[in-house]
Each structure stands twice: as structure tokens, then as C-alpha cells.
Amino acid sequence: MPVRNGRKYLDDLDRTRREVWIGGRKITTGITEHPAFRQMAVTMSKLYDMQCDPELEDEMTYVSPSTGDRVGMSFLQPVTREDLLRRRRMMKRWADYSGGMLGRTPDYLNSDIMAMASASRFFSLADPSFGENIVNYYTYVRENDLLMTHTLINPQTNRSAPPSKQKDPFIAARIVEKRRDGIVVRGARMLATFPLADEIIVFPSTVIKSGPEDLPYSMAFAIPVDSPGLKFLCREPFCSDSRFDHPLAYGFEEMDAVVVFDDVFVPRERIFLLEDAERANVLHERTDAVVHMSHQVVTREIAKTEFILGVVSLMVETIGIGQFQHVQEKVARIEMILESLRALLIASEQEAELNSWGIMTPRFKYLNVARNVYPRLYPSIRETLQQLGASGLMAMPSSADMESEIRHYIDTYYQGKNSGAEERIRLFKLAWDIAGSSFGSRQEMYERFFFGDPVRMASAFYSWYDTSHFRKMVSDFLDRED
């Protein structure tokens, strides 16, 4: 089947009877009409429509090797550097649509599954059927253009003890029954962004100890979101029904949900790893999935930084603060962050090589730097908006005020240096949706954590980065006799 358009995505969303809990109520039907999800569903449908735009066809899609139909570019298994660039151009177009505010555009997890399928031998070594399963799953999601969400980590309950030593060993999702035709899973996983997906992939949590008591927590599988017993428990929504008041929260509220597995059956053909802590702990690294996901992530982070730089620059111009040195320094800092990210991405592509699975893979070193520094830099980018917007971010009338009899005051007192009141208000409301609103705060939380705990990621970086050459340089220097 060729790529989906927006209408097909929405129809599929409405047809699927997933169990979503929000605000104390269960929704199983009509999710595209629910106020918390309506606009986000429309946004996603617009991304799907881009794939079917004849002018974008070559950029967004490629010809499926199995059917000859056009399928999504982010499923492409790259074998040349040009393939990597084709993937990146497509990913950038989707990222630009939301100013980088969407973490779960389909390309994020398409890249994950694409890389895993290319490394099917990694799975086959545990069990030949697992290797077949990952390839069949990749082909299935590619040919049906399905959207995936994922969940990796266990509930927070008590981080000083492994899942098997919690008050209840069934808090973290685990295998409760092994059957000839599959497994039954009970427990919860902490978070899955975007319950409007078609499929959920459940991959191993960061590090699983390899004691026998922890093996039931070690599994990798994928199931449809409407699998019986699967429940999404959503947080409070941060969306808005006014594009004027919250231009980002209006269309880009992805939602995050705890995932409960109330004895969910996972058919054998959807299992990729089972009771295999050793492989689970190196899954993303050995398959290079982390590299291809990082390629997508850094592309999105560039789109986001570009967008915010545009907002900041317009604010500076609008209220006439560009001559102040500290303002220049703050804007320049964002510009330097942007160019550093871009340089890292380009370097990773230029030094790309075929990996041991035959897939053209960006040089991880550069992407690993980018994915480690962005969680540290993003809060400071957001802070710049607060510092430069100052009280202007507070002094904003609502859309209702704009239609009221105080409008003439608004037109007089809310003007910018060279812009009318409405223009300035729209810009500052956009800035507030990044710098201050619930939506903006959640964006910061996302950038800080979505790829993992930044502290443990930095520790892993420290252990992985090879300093032997530099240590030798210093030893040689100290040993020099001239």
C-alpha cells in the first residue's frame, strides 16, 4: 500500500478502539473529536498529506523494494551518503512544520525500526524467529505507513531498587505468562508520548541486571495500540482551543501517557527479544538504532533552534533592543548553538560509513555530542526568551479582549517599535508558548529527558569517549628531553 494521506490517518485513528484515559474519563471512540486530541490529529494529518503532495513526492517518499509503491522516506535503509541526505531533507521538512516542537513525527521511530531490521542478525542470534519478526514488522509498518509510539522505562516508584525488588514485582511491566503462541505482559511503563499512534513498541528499559529475577522484565516487542488490556493514562492536557492565544499549544500538543498492560497478550510473531538481558542492554547500540534516531533528533533540534532564533530576532526588532550589548550577546549565543549543531550534523554525514549490517551510518561521535549538549543548552535558549521578552510576555491581552471595546487601548498601548499592536501581540504570544506556558515547560522537560537521563548519558559518554591519544600526547610532552 502506498503512503497514507491525512484522511486515511484520521480514519484509521477513529476506527481503532484504543483505551485512553484523560481527565477521569475513558475514551475508546471519537478520539479525533476530543478537545485534547482534535487539533493534534489534524496536525499529524497535514504531515501525512505532505507525502502525497506531487511536488514533494520525490523528497518525502521512495519506491518500496517489495511492492513498487511509494513509501515514507524515513523507512529508507541508506546505503550511500546521498541516501542519508535524502532521509535528512525529508525529516527536516516535517520538523520545520512545527518549528521542531513535535518529538513524535513518524520519522523518529521509523528510523529506529529501520535500523533494527537492518540488524536482524543481532536478533536471529538469540532466536532465528526474532530476526524474521523484526524484518516482517519493519516491512509491515513501512508498507502500511503506520505511526509508532514507544515506551522504555519503568515506573519511578523506587529507583534505588531493581524492578524485581519493588514493593510489588508487577509494578514494572513484565512477562506474567509464557505460552506457545506468545507472552502475556502485566504492569506499567512510565511514559509514551503520542497516544494517537497506531502501534506501540515496547523496548528494554535502559539497563537490566542480568540476575534471573530480572529476566521477566527483559523483552522487546510491538503491538497495536488497541490490543486488549492496553491502557494509556494521559496527563493533564496543555493544548488550547485558541490559535491566537497559544499558537503552539493549539496544534502541537503531543500528550504523554503512562502505559498500563493489564494482562496484554503479545503474539509470538511480534516478539523481538525475550528474557535476554545481555542483548537488551546493548540493543540500541549494536543495531545502530541510536545513531539513526540521533540523526533524526539532531535534524529536529536544528529546526527548533532556527525557529526560536527567528522568534527571538523578531522580538528584538519589535521592541527595539538590538543596540544593547547583552542582547546581542544572548542572541549570538543561540546563533552559535545553531551553527554548532549544524556542523555536528554535517560532520556526522560526511564521515558516514557502512556499518557491519551494510547500512550507511552517520559518524556517531558528532551526533552523540549534539544529543548530550542539547538537553543542557535548550533551557538556556528558553531563558533568553524570558530575559529579552521581560514584562512584554505578561502584558498580553486575550483573543476575547481583541474583540472587545478596549481594542482601541490595545491598538495604542501594545504597539511595537515599527509594528502594530496585533502583530506584536501575536509574536509575544508565540514567544510565551515557548518561554512560559505549560506547553513551553513541557517542551523543556522533553528536551531535558526524552532521550534518557542526561546525567547517566554523560557518564556513558565519559566511558565511551577514547582519550588514550590525548593522554599519550601529554605523556610524550612530559618525556621530551630537548
3-state DSSP call for residue 150?
strand
Cβ at position 295, least distance to ligand FAD in Å: 18
Identify whether the C-beta of residue 417 lies closer than 8 Å to the C-beta of residue 317: yes
Q: Which residues share a beta bridge with 381?
A: none
Smallest gap from residue 129 Cβ to ligand FAD (A): 25
Site string for ligand FAD, 69-108 (x = CB under 6 A): ----------------------------------------
Contact between 150 and ligand FAD per CB under 6 A? yes
**Binding test (CB under 6 A) with ligand FAD, winner from 410, 452, 458, 461:** 452
Query: Could you say which of 156, 391, 412, 463 contacts ligand FAD (CB under 6 A)?
Result: 156
Contact positions with ligand FAD (CB under 6 A) in 191-210: 191-193
The reply on whether position 170 binds ligand FAD by CB under 6 A is no
Neighbours of 9 (CB within 10 A): 24
The sign of the CA dihedral 366, 368, 369, 370 is: positive
CB-CB contact of 195 with 18 (8 Å): yes
Binding segment for ligand FAD among 64-72, 363-371, 423-431, 446-454 (CB under 6 A)? 446-454
Question: Should residue 239 be labelled a site residue for ligand FAD when binding is judged by CB under 6 A?
Answer: no
Q: Considering only residues 380-419, where is the footprint of ligand FAD by CB under 6 A?
A: none
Q: Which three cell numbers stand for residue 23?
A: 481527565
E strands, 101-255, are: 148-151, 174-179, 182-193, 199-202, 219-224, 230-234
How far is CA 294 from its chain centroid?
10
Rg of the chain (C-alpha set): 24
> In angstroms, what is the minimal distance from the CB of 217 to ligand FAD?
14
Q: Which residue is associated with the grid cell 509575544?
A: 428
Binding pattern to ligand FAD, positions 251-290, x when CB under 6 A? Answer: -----x----------------------------------
Q: How far apart are CA 294 and CA 290, in angstroms?
A: 6
Please give the backbone phi and psi of residue 377, each rounded to the nearest 5 degrees, phi first: -90, -30
Number of Cβ within 10 Å of residue 123's Cβ equals 26
Q: What is the DSSP string of 367-386?
A: HHHHHHHHHHHHHHHHHHHH
Nearer to ligand FAD, 376 or 456 (CB): 456
Measured in degrees and rounded to the nearest 5, phi and psi for residue 412 equal -80, -50
Residue 445 within binding range of ligand FAD, rule CB under 6 A: yes
User: Cβ 49 to ligand FAD, closest distance in Å?
Assistant: 24
Write down the least CB distance from residue 205 to ligand FAD, Å: 8
The one segment of 144-152, 220-228, 236-244, 430-438 that binds ligand FAD by CB under 6 A: 144-152
Residue number with CB closer to ligand FAD (126 or 258): 258
Q: For the chain, first and last CA: distance in Å?
A: 72
Q: Does 244 bind ligand FAD (CB under 6 A)?
A: no
For residue 366, state whether it binds ligand FAD (rule: CB under 6 A). no
Asked whether 290 and 461 are in contact (CB, 8 A), the reply is: no
Which range of residues in 230-238, 279-287, 363-371, 445-453 is near ligand FAD by CB under 6 A? Answer: 445-453
Binding site for ligand FAD (CB under 6 A): 150-153, 156, 159, 190-193, 256, 442, 445-446, 449-450, 452-453, 455-456
